[in-house]
Structure 1
Amino acid sequence: MSQLFPSDDRSVLCSDGKGVRRRLEVHCLAIPDVKLIRTPRFSDTRGYFCETFQRADFAAQGLDCDFLQDNQSSSDRPGTVRGLHFQRPPFAQTKLVRVLRGSILDVAVDLRRSSSSFGRHVAMELSSESNEQLLVPAGFAHGFCTLEPDTVVFYKVDQVYSAAHDSGVNWADSRLGIEWPVASAEANLSEKDRGLPMLVDLAPVFE
């Protein structure tokens, strides 16, 4: 799991829909540009309510996100791997990822050649119960492995899908040092993802 850095944490008040304000929390991870976001959940006898995204609250944290598209995936089996995906400029995407049902190990790999953390990654477990989201900026490859059956993942992106700019890095690249919760031979993934290149074979994309 990735380390939180409390000294870099920030919070902002957000609404329960009835005028009550509580704190939206933003936590920097081991690669500070990747953020763990906790949104307050308001519970009563009916269940709960929460705001998962409010542009003004994010902007107050310095997170200026202009999301254009929402995506959702459903995975039947635990050990399903999707990734590691990114889009090349000018269609590079920032993603805001959360889990609607089940749980995942969510991973972001820094592909920015000029970054001191190039080739490094952060990994966080997200679940439908945790009320946490991962903000993955452009310049990173993103992917996840499901930890439970019937897991549903939802994410917002700030660029539309472009097949011509779609790319990725092989999830099983040993140089990335990702501790996946499933063995390579047992992972359930697409042939497309299985054939993605290792990072060393990927032409520079992000400076």
Structure 2
Amino acid sequence: MLFTETSIKNMYVIDLEKKYDERGYFARTFCTDEFEAHGIRFSPIQSNMSFSKLKGTLRGLHYQVPTEEAKLVRCPRGKIFDVVIDMRTDSETYLKTSCNKLDSTTSQLLYVPPGCAHGFLTLENNTEVNYLVNALFNPGQERGIRYNDPAFTIPWPEEITTISEKDMSFLDYDTQKRI
């Protein structure tokens, strides 16, 4: 695996190293030793997947406080525009945004560090996203950033046509800080 750090501290785009033969290829998608060699202690305890029927479906941007989730995200079918915002107040990249495209042909993964908000927009119909997480979901600790929050200028590349009521209802980030 080849790790490339993004504009957010400790967040990586991971390119898979494929070993080809007459059958096709083999690639490792997770290895504790390789992650630890990059300073990442990631012990997944849950595997999640989402399937979105329509292009333009937005999921997120979600994070948890105080139990923070780290994620390893992959798009094995379709294509997504993935967005991460650093919500760690002690981070040198606090409130920075990282945007990446993942699809089934690039064989890339994203490592999203704990304390970051994460979401994505589907760029194709019938898109599937898989991700490993290192903490259990706790509804009482869930927080969110609305896709069009004026505190962030997310350059969504396509029109958002489908979004949940919950994801639309998040308060402006500046208001959340005062609550």
| TM-score calculated relative to the size of structure 1 | 0.81
In our comparison, the structure showing a higher alpha carbon Rg is: 1
Higher relative contact order (Cα pairs below 8 Å, separated by 6+ residues): 2
CA distance in structure 2 between the aligned counterparts of 1:142 and 1:136, rounded to whole angstroms: 8
Range with greater deviation from structure 2 (137-146 or 163-172): 163-172
Residues 70 and 133, structure 2, Cα contact 8 Å, conserved in 1? yes
Aligned partner of 1:63 in structure 2 is 40
Range with greater deviation from structure 2 (92-101 or 53-62): 53-62
The question of 1:192 aligning with 2:166 is answered yes
State the Cα distance separating 1:60 from its structure 2 match. 2.1
CA distance in structure 2 between the aligned counterparts of 1:163 and 1:175, rounded to whole angstroms: 24
Residues 113 and 204, structure 1, Cα contact 8 Å, conserved in 2? no
SS in 2 for 1:62: coil
| Percent identity over paired residues | 35
SS in 2 for 1:56: helix
1:27 corresponds to which letter in structure 2?
A: T
SS in 2 for 1:119: coil
Range with greater deviation from structure 2 (144-153 or 115-124): 115-124
The question of 1:203 aligning with 2:177 is answered yes
Aligned partner of 2:89 in structure 1 is 113
Aligned partner of 2:142 in structure 1 is 166
The question of 1:100 aligning with 2:72 is answered no
The question of 1:178 aligning with 2:157 is answered no
Aligned partner of 1:7 in structure 2 is none
Residues 50 and 130, structure 2, Cα contact 8 Å, conserved in 1? yes
Match of 2:124 among 148, 157, 160: 148
Residues 79 and 181, structure 1, Cα contact 8 Å, conserved in 2? no
CA distance in structure 1 between the aligned counterparts of 2:176 and 2:12, rounded to whole angstroms: 25
State the Cα distance separating 1:116 from its structure 2 match. 3.6
| TM-score calculated relative to the size of structure 2 | 0.93
State the Cα distance separating 1:197 from its structure 2 match. 1.7
Match of 2:57 among 60, 80, 86: 80
The question of 1:43 aligning with 2:20 is answered yes
2:16 corresponds to which letter in structure 1?
A: T
State the Cα distance separating 1:69 from its structure 2 match. 0.5
Root mean square deviation, CA, Å? 1.7
* Matched residue count: 179
SS in 2 for 1:153: strand
**Residues 56-107 of structure 1: per-residue CA shift (max 9 Å, x gap):** 2212222111111110000011111000001111x21001111010110111
Range with greater deviation from structure 2 (44-53 or 119-128): 44-53
State the Cα distance separating 1:204 from its structure 2 match. 7.5
State the Cα distance separating 1:132 from its structure 2 match. 0.8
Structure 1: runs of 5+ lacking an equivalent:
1-23
Aligned partner of 1:33 in structure 2 is 10
State the Cα distance separating 1:110 from its structure 2 match. 1.1
SS in 2 for 1:141: strand
**Residues 15-56 of structure 1: per-residue CA shift (max 9 Å, x gap):** xxxxxxxxx211111123211111212233433321111112
Structure 2: runs of 5+ lacking an equivalent:
none
SS in 2 for 1:142: strand
